[in-house]
Chains A and B, each alone.
Chain A
Amino acid sequence: MFLARVEGNVTATRKHPSFEGWRLVVCQPIARNGSPEGTPQVAIDGLGAGLHQRVVISSDGAAARKAVGDDRSPARWIIIGLVDEVTPGTTALEDAVP
Protein backbone atom coordinates (compact mmCIF):
# COMPACT_ATOMS: atom_id res chain seq x y z
CA MET A 1 0.00 0.00 0.00
CA PHE A 2 1.21 3.47 -0.88
CA LEU A 3 0.42 6.95 0.28
CA ALA A 4 -0.49 8.80 -2.92
CA ARG A 5 -1.93 12.05 -4.19
CA VAL A 6 -4.71 12.22 -6.77
CA GLU A 7 -3.36 14.18 -9.73
CA GLY A 8 -5.87 13.55 -12.48
CA ASN A 9 -8.15 11.07 -14.16
CA VAL A 10 -8.36 8.92 -17.25
CA THR A 11 -11.21 8.20 -19.63
CA ALA A 12 -11.23 5.12 -21.83
CA THR A 13 -14.13 3.88 -23.92
CA ARG A 14 -12.46 0.63 -24.86
CA LYS A 15 -11.33 -1.18 -21.73
CA HIS A 16 -11.72 -4.43 -19.86
CA PRO A 17 -15.48 -4.69 -19.14
CA SER A 18 -14.85 -4.99 -15.41
CA PHE A 19 -13.75 -1.31 -15.32
CA GLU A 20 -17.12 -0.17 -16.67
CA GLY A 21 -18.64 2.43 -14.35
CA TRP A 22 -15.50 2.90 -12.25
CA ARG A 23 -13.56 6.14 -11.93
CA LEU A 24 -9.98 5.72 -13.09
CA VAL A 25 -7.82 8.21 -11.21
CA VAL A 26 -4.14 9.05 -11.58
CA CYS A 27 -2.45 8.45 -8.21
CA GLN A 28 1.08 9.75 -7.69
CA PRO A 29 2.84 7.86 -4.88
CA ILE A 30 4.31 10.38 -2.44
CA ALA A 31 6.59 10.55 0.55
CA ARG A 32 5.29 11.70 3.93
CA ASN A 33 6.24 15.29 3.07
CA GLY A 34 4.30 15.16 -0.21
CA SER A 35 7.20 14.81 -2.63
CA PRO A 36 6.50 12.45 -5.56
CA GLU A 37 8.06 8.98 -5.56
CA GLY A 38 7.97 6.74 -8.62
CA THR A 39 5.61 6.59 -11.56
CA PRO A 40 1.92 7.50 -11.35
CA GLN A 41 -0.49 4.57 -11.05
CA VAL A 42 -4.04 4.54 -12.34
CA ALA A 43 -6.33 3.16 -9.64
CA ILE A 44 -10.04 2.45 -9.52
CA ASP A 45 -11.90 4.70 -7.11
CA GLY A 46 -15.14 3.89 -5.37
CA LEU A 47 -14.76 6.58 -2.71
CA GLY A 48 -14.92 9.74 -4.82
CA ALA A 49 -11.42 11.10 -4.19
CA GLY A 50 -10.92 14.75 -5.18
CA LEU A 51 -8.09 16.39 -7.09
CA HIS A 52 -4.87 16.67 -5.04
CA GLN A 53 -6.46 14.71 -2.19
CA ARG A 54 -4.24 12.24 -0.40
CA VAL A 55 -5.29 8.62 -0.57
CA VAL A 56 -3.96 5.18 0.22
CA ILE A 57 -3.78 2.79 -2.74
CA SER A 58 -3.42 -0.97 -2.53
CA SER A 59 -2.01 -3.35 -5.15
CA ASP A 60 -4.05 -6.29 -3.87
CA GLY A 61 -5.59 -7.77 -7.03
CA ALA A 62 -7.82 -10.19 -5.14
CA ALA A 63 -9.44 -7.31 -3.27
CA ALA A 64 -9.79 -5.28 -6.47
CA ARG A 65 -11.43 -8.21 -8.26
CA LYS A 66 -13.86 -8.57 -5.39
CA ALA A 67 -14.63 -4.84 -5.53
CA VAL A 68 -15.43 -4.89 -9.26
CA GLY A 69 -17.24 -8.21 -8.91
CA ASP A 70 -15.39 -10.01 -11.71
CA ASP A 71 -13.03 -12.93 -11.08
CA ARG A 72 -11.49 -12.41 -14.53
CA SER A 73 -10.69 -8.72 -14.03
CA PRO A 74 -7.08 -7.50 -14.36
CA ALA A 75 -7.83 -4.78 -11.75
CA ARG A 76 -4.98 -4.37 -9.29
CA TRP A 77 -4.68 -0.86 -7.86
CA ILE A 78 -7.63 0.39 -5.83
CA ILE A 79 -8.09 3.40 -3.57
CA ILE A 80 -8.79 1.93 -0.17
CA GLY A 81 -9.02 5.13 1.85
CA LEU A 82 -9.03 8.93 1.83
CA VAL A 83 -6.36 10.36 4.10
CA ASP A 84 -7.46 12.49 7.02
CA GLU A 85 -4.02 13.21 8.39
CA VAL A 86 -0.55 11.73 8.41
CA THR A 87 1.32 12.26 11.63
CA PRO A 88 3.62 13.89 12.23
CA GLY A 89 3.12 17.01 10.27
CA THR A 90 0.54 16.92 7.48
CA THR A 91 -3.14 17.51 6.99
CA ALA A 92 -5.35 15.96 4.33
CA LEU A 93 -4.32 18.45 1.64
CA GLU A 94 -1.33 20.46 2.84
CA ASP A 95 2.26 19.30 2.50
CA ALA A 96 4.50 19.22 5.53
CA VAL A 97 6.97 22.04 6.05
CA PRO A 98 10.33 20.45 5.18
Chain B
Amino acid sequence: MRLGKVIGRVTLSAVISGLQGARWLVVSPCNRDHFPQGAAAPEGLSREPSLVVYDNLGGGVGDVIGFVEGREAAQPLEPVAAIDAINAALVDHVFHSPRR
Protein backbone atom coordinates (compact mmCIF):
# COMPACT_ATOMS: atom_id res chain seq x y z
CA MET B 1 0.00 0.00 0.00
CA ARG B 2 0.95 3.64 -0.33
CA LEU B 3 0.31 6.41 2.16
CA GLY B 4 -1.82 9.39 1.24
CA LYS B 5 -3.51 12.43 2.70
CA VAL B 6 -7.29 12.64 2.46
CA ILE B 7 -8.08 15.97 0.78
CA GLY B 8 -11.77 15.55 0.02
CA ARG B 9 -14.79 13.32 -0.32
CA VAL B 10 -16.97 12.30 -3.26
CA THR B 11 -20.68 11.51 -3.24
CA LEU B 12 -22.30 9.78 -6.19
CA SER B 13 -25.91 10.24 -7.31
CA ALA B 14 -25.99 7.14 -9.51
CA VAL B 15 -23.78 4.13 -8.90
CA ILE B 16 -23.42 0.66 -10.40
CA SER B 17 -24.83 -2.25 -8.45
CA GLY B 18 -22.77 -3.50 -5.57
CA LEU B 19 -21.36 -0.11 -4.65
CA GLN B 20 -24.45 1.67 -3.31
CA GLY B 21 -23.86 3.52 -0.07
CA ALA B 22 -20.08 3.41 -0.35
CA ARG B 23 -17.86 6.23 0.93
CA TRP B 24 -15.31 7.71 -1.45
CA LEU B 25 -12.27 9.77 -0.53
CA VAL B 26 -10.10 12.01 -2.68
CA VAL B 27 -6.54 11.17 -1.73
CA SER B 28 -3.23 12.85 -2.51
CA PRO B 29 -0.53 10.15 -2.42
CA CYS B 30 2.57 10.85 -0.31
CA ASN B 31 5.94 10.67 -2.01
CA ARG B 32 9.44 10.70 -0.54
CA ASP B 33 9.52 14.50 -0.28
CA HIS B 34 6.00 14.82 1.11
CA PHE B 35 5.92 12.02 3.65
CA PRO B 36 4.07 12.03 6.96
CA GLN B 37 6.17 12.11 10.12
CA GLY B 38 4.78 11.21 13.52
CA ALA B 39 1.04 11.74 13.80
CA ALA B 40 0.92 14.75 11.47
CA ALA B 41 -0.04 14.76 7.81
CA PRO B 42 2.50 16.36 5.46
CA GLU B 43 2.00 20.03 4.63
CA GLY B 44 0.64 20.81 1.18
CA LEU B 45 0.32 18.35 -1.67
CA SER B 46 2.84 16.10 -3.36
CA ARG B 47 3.32 16.01 -7.12
CA GLU B 48 1.62 12.61 -7.34
CA PRO B 49 -1.75 12.62 -9.12
CA SER B 50 -4.71 12.45 -6.72
CA LEU B 51 -7.10 9.52 -6.86
CA VAL B 52 -10.48 8.36 -5.56
CA VAL B 53 -10.32 5.66 -2.90
CA TYR B 54 -13.11 3.39 -1.65
CA ASP B 55 -13.43 3.72 2.11
CA ASN B 56 -15.07 1.44 4.65
CA LEU B 57 -12.97 2.48 7.65
CA GLY B 58 -14.30 6.03 8.07
CA GLY B 59 -11.46 8.24 6.88
CA GLY B 60 -11.96 12.01 6.91
CA VAL B 61 -10.35 15.08 5.37
CA GLY B 62 -6.86 15.64 6.81
CA ASP B 63 -6.32 12.00 7.80
CA VAL B 64 -3.34 9.98 6.61
CA ILE B 65 -4.43 6.61 5.22
CA GLY B 66 -2.78 3.55 3.75
CA PHE B 67 -4.45 2.67 0.46
CA VAL B 68 -4.02 -0.40 -1.71
CA GLU B 69 -4.14 -0.11 -5.49
CA GLY B 70 -4.77 -2.71 -8.15
CA ARG B 71 -6.74 -5.92 -8.29
CA GLU B 72 -6.13 -6.57 -4.60
CA ALA B 73 -8.25 -3.52 -3.69
CA ALA B 74 -11.42 -5.39 -4.70
CA GLN B 75 -10.53 -8.47 -2.68
CA PRO B 76 -12.35 -7.50 0.58
CA LEU B 77 -15.64 -6.93 -1.28
CA GLU B 78 -18.14 -9.70 -1.80
CA PRO B 79 -18.95 -10.05 -4.64
CA VAL B 80 -15.79 -8.53 -6.07
CA ALA B 81 -16.66 -5.04 -7.34
CA ALA B 82 -15.24 -2.42 -9.68
CA ILE B 83 -12.74 -1.05 -7.17
CA ASP B 84 -9.08 -0.40 -7.85
CA ALA B 85 -8.11 1.57 -4.73
CA ILE B 86 -9.23 0.93 -1.16
CA ASN B 87 -8.51 2.47 2.22
CA ALA B 88 -6.83 -0.38 4.12
CA ALA B 89 -5.55 1.49 7.19
CA LEU B 90 -6.22 4.70 9.11
CA VAL B 91 -2.68 5.67 9.99
CA ASP B 92 -2.04 6.77 13.59
CA HIS B 93 1.70 7.27 13.48
CA VAL B 94 4.52 7.15 10.94
CA PHE B 95 8.20 6.83 11.67
CA HIS B 96 10.18 7.84 8.58
CA SER B 97 13.95 8.08 8.49
CA PRO B 98 15.02 8.46 4.86
CA ARG B 99 18.64 7.70 4.18
CA ARG B 100 20.29 10.52 2.21
Q: Which residues of A contact B (CB under 8 A)?
A: 5, 7-16, 19, 24, 26, 28, 34, 36, 39-42, 51-52, 59, 61, 64-65, 71-77
> Assuming A10-B89, A77-B1, is B70 touching A61 (CB within 8 A)?
yes
Judging by beta carbons under 8 Å apart, are A15 and B70 in contact? no
Q: Which residues of B contact A (CB under 8 A)?
A: 1-3, 29-32, 35, 48, 57-58, 66, 68-73, 75-76, 78, 86, 88-99
The answer, among A28, A64, A74, for a CB contact under 8 Å with B76, is A74
Contact partners of B97 in chain A: CB under 8 A: 7-8, 51-52
Judging by beta carbons under 8 Å apart, are B96 and A16 in contact? no
Whole-angstrom distance between the alpha carbons of A59 and B73 in the complex? 12
List 27 contacting pairs A-B, 8 Å CB cutoff, sorted by A. Answer: A7-B97, A8-B96, A8-B97, A9-B94, A10-B91, A11-B94, A12-B89, A12-B92, A16-B89, A24-B89, A26-B35, A26-B94, A26-B96, A39-B31, A39-B48, A40-B3, A40-B35, A42-B1, A42-B2, A42-B3, A42-B66, A59-B70, A64-B72, A65-B75, A74-B68, A74-B72, A76-B70
